[in-house]
Amino acid sequence: MPLNDKLDFSSVLATAVHDMKNSLGMLTQSTEAIALRSKQNGREDSEELSRLHYEVSRLNGSLMQLLALYRFEKKQLPMTIEENYLEDLLNDVYYKNKSFIEQTQMKIDIEVDESLSWYFDVTLIEYLLSDVVINALRYSKKQIKISAKQADNYLCIQVDDDGDGFPQSIIDLANAKVASQLDFVNNRSGLGLFFAKLIAKAHINSGKEGRIHIENGSFLGGSRFSLYLP
């Protein structure tokens, strides 16, 4: 029997991605700890180590996206919907990227009512927001604002920055309704946007689906990413 008749390559690839993601998670923790010690000791390589931590975090996020997309295609995307406090979520996203934030001297404002809570899968939403924040860190100039509020029976989480804004091609990708319209080959953001839309739409309550929206002209003058969960 041919090898292809015995081997489900997509499953093998998903297993490999899962193992790589776990290894990168450990590498992320190690590079963050080394970068922190380097900065405390005043070493000249602290900035380079922080950038290494940033790139490892981006790669880990990409692997998480690939794994989630595979599980979605196989109808095996795990969802654990529980009540979570938004202040805890946004602070976790901040501290996950603290090393690079401090190295770039980026100002991060978090605006959320400490009593605000909502029901969602905290693991998937944290990965989604971390990817958005990492992208904002890459293109912002000095400031990012992360906020959460309740609006029209939806939870609205927004990330504003003071960068140059989204190119029109990215806005068009976000508005595309068919997955095949997303240009994964020529634009990495296509995969990131599809992942964000997938996670948002997987959150359903009373017949309403979650959604995302991106635009320019944010509170800080740059781009704004908005996540709406019912």
pLDDT, one tens digit per residue, over 79-92 is 789 999 999 999 99
Whether residues 165 and 215 share a domain: the answer is yes
How far is Cα 118 from Cα 99, in angstroms, rounded to an integer? Answer: 28
Whether residues 47 and 103 share a domain: the answer is no
With beta carbons less than 8 A apart as the criterion, state whether 120 and 156 touch: no
Contacts of 137 (CB under 8 A, 6+ apart): 54, 97, 100, 101, 104, 106, 144
What pLDDT sits at residue 92? 94
Q: Between 45 and 147, where is the model more confident? A: 147
| Boundary (domain end) residue, out of 73, 93, 109 | 73
Residue 53: φ, ψ to 5°: -60, -40
pLDDT, one tens digit per residue, over 117-168 is 999 999 889 989 988 998 888 889 999 999 999 999 999 999 999 999 988 8
Whether residues 67 and 86 share a domain: the answer is no
Q: Provide the residue type at 80 as one letter.
A: T
Q: Between 120 and 40, where is the model more confident? A: 120
Query: What distances in angstroms separate CA 158 from CA 14, 41, 144, one per listed residue?
Result: 31, 36, 10
Whether residues 26 and 96 share a domain: the answer is no
How far is Cα 61 from Cα 25, in angstroms, rounded to an integer? Answer: 10
Whether residues 60 and 160 share a domain: the answer is no
Whether residues 208 and 140 share a domain: the answer is yes
Whether residues 192 and 125 share a domain: the answer is yes
What pLDDT sits at residue 91? 96
Q: pLDDT category, 95, cuts 50, 70, 90?
A: confident
| Boundary (domain end) residue, out of 20, 49, 73 | 73
Q: What is the mean pLDDT of residues 43-54?
A: 65
Whether residues 171 and 146 share a domain: the answer is yes
Q: Between 2 and 144, where is the model more confident? A: 144
* Tokens coding 99: 């090393």
Whether residues 29 and 136 share a domain: the answer is no
Whether residues 137 and 175 share a domain: the answer is yes
| Boundary (domain end) residue, out of 30, 55, 73 | 73
| Token pair 């992360």 in the structure block, residue | 146
Q: What is the mean pLDDT of residues 182-205?
A: 73
Q: pLDDT category, 10, cuts 50, 70, 90?
A: low
Host domain of residue 69: 3-73
* 189, pLDDT greater than 60: no
What pLDDT sits at residue 160? 96
Q: What is the mean pLDDT of residues 187-211?
A: 83
Whether residues 22 and 55 share a domain: the answer is yes
> 3-class SS at 11?
helix
State the virtual CA torsion across 212, 213, 218, 220 in degrees, nearest 10.
20
With beta carbons less than 8 A apart as the criterion, state whether 124 and 79 touch: yes
Calculate what percentage of the chain has a pLDDT beyond 90.
35
Q: Give me the chain's average pLDDT, please.
A: 79
CATH code, 178: 3.30.565.10
Q: Which of 5-14, 26-35, 89-98, 179-188 has the highest mean pLDDT?
A: 89-98
Whether residues 201 and 107 share a domain: the answer is yes
Count of structural domains, the chain:
2
